[in-house]
Structure 1
């Protein structure tokens, strides 16, 4: 999965040196979701005789892992009414493919090409056992952005930073050229990260990892209330790890 966003707003911030505070300490207690995943058998269903009674329940991983973003509902923003709508590949493939082939997007998402390229990416998102939620950002009734809401603590990203249970990540691209360069990315990132914190009470932090070279994207996150946490080397890029803390959401 690409770990980057295409927005267009500039800025920098300082990173705290690794190990400089309690935030760098990794909480090693495994969340319940890890236990559930380890207990899955080949068809994705836990063998009932091997699952502790407290874990047995209808196997709805999408609801368990991300608290059902499809039900989060619309919110009012300074740019208009905004709604996260689940991606339906059969309906949305052409639109998202067109966005992915925009040079400004392709430079960081690396998904330019025919519809089969985008389809494979969306299939991976939709088949991720509830760890990721791909959605369209609909502003005043018009689809204009693509989001991925994902469990950062259950993602390979967690190998590269001190993850905490229920850390939730965001990827964003703005689809139309006319929607870039006027602060809209920051408005939407703040709105969506607010939704995460409001609808996911167990989540203390929202995480993002735009490409460090993508200054407009890093700036958009800073303006949306994220802080620059560290530089991290990921397999496909050197990233700026951005964090929005629940405790600081009203201060930044």
Structure 2
């Protein structure tokens, strides 16, 4: 006689969990309570942090070389072990120290750099390499995510620039304004969401303010910042082709 419906419903297929004496429910609970290794979780967290760090400024390290009127130029993200002695020497130049206020032992410059490198990527310290030679220090930063945003009407994706020319031989011959123009163009090329490049040089630093003006920035306002009275300089994407 063929099995009734009831007996068919309770039949056990060969090789099933029930026929092997295991409970599917128990196996499911084991899976739900599976704990991933701490090393794997740490690796995932680092990958997420690295992705965020790269996204905030659209991977500055991948922007590549551009051509300024003074030669081929590239922004290269700082590596502490490689670049710290050079940047420390620049910071101790009296002309630089007057406005950056980082003169002193190497540990002072190191702390300034590491604070950015350990952050979420909203500020990226870079060497400016002209024709293969490091000659300037740059910070490319998200001005809309910076304390500066409390002092002016910031817009999403405003991108800021800090710059120092390392050696006296490279100053006063137009290199600063040429490189500022090139880097501002690079920002606008590589960051399509950014409509403005901004800067806030010390108002007393008239050569720096003049270099920004020559690079196509406009003077927007005087801004009282915690450490200085600054000239707010803005380069607008909307008038880029007119400059």
- How far residue 250 of structure 1 moved from its aligned partner, in angstroms, is 2.1
Match of 1:134 in 2: 125
| CA deviation map 1:114-144 (0-9, x unaligned) | 1000000001111221100100000000000
Distance 2:119 2:204 in 1: 28
Distance 2:55 2:74 in 1: 21
Match of 1:102 in 2: 93
Q: Greater CA radius of gyration, 1 or 2? A: 2
- How far residue 101 of structure 1 moved from its aligned partner, in angstroms, is 0.3
Whether 2:164 is the aligned partner of 1:180: answer: no
2:180 to 184, 189, 199: 189
- How far residue 77 of structure 1 moved from its aligned partner, in angstroms, is 1.4
Whether 2:208 is the aligned partner of 1:217: answer: yes
Distance 1:250 1:222 in 2: 16
Distance 1:62 1:146 in 2: 20
- How far residue 58 of structure 1 moved from its aligned partner, in angstroms, is 4.2
Q: CA RMSD for the aligned pairs?
A: 1.4
Alignment map for 1:152-171 (pairs within 5 Å): 152-171=143-162
In structure 1, runs of 5+ residues without a counterpart are 1-42, 47-56
The aligned length equals 199
Alignment map for 1:1-252 (pairs within 5 Å): 58-59=48-49, 60-252=51-243
Distance 2:52 2:174 in 1: 35
| CA deviation map 1:60-93 (0-9, x unaligned) | 1122110001000001111111011110011100
Distance 1:111 1:222 in 2: 26
Q: Give the TM-score normalised by the residue count of structure 1.
A: 0.77
| CA deviation map 1:7-38 (0-9, x unaligned) | xxxxxxxxxxxxxxxxxxxxxxxxxxxxxxxx
Distance 1:127 1:157 in 2: 20
The runs of at least 4 aligned residues of structure 1 exceeding 3 Å deviation read none
- How far residue 150 of structure 1 moved from its aligned partner, in angstroms, is 0.1
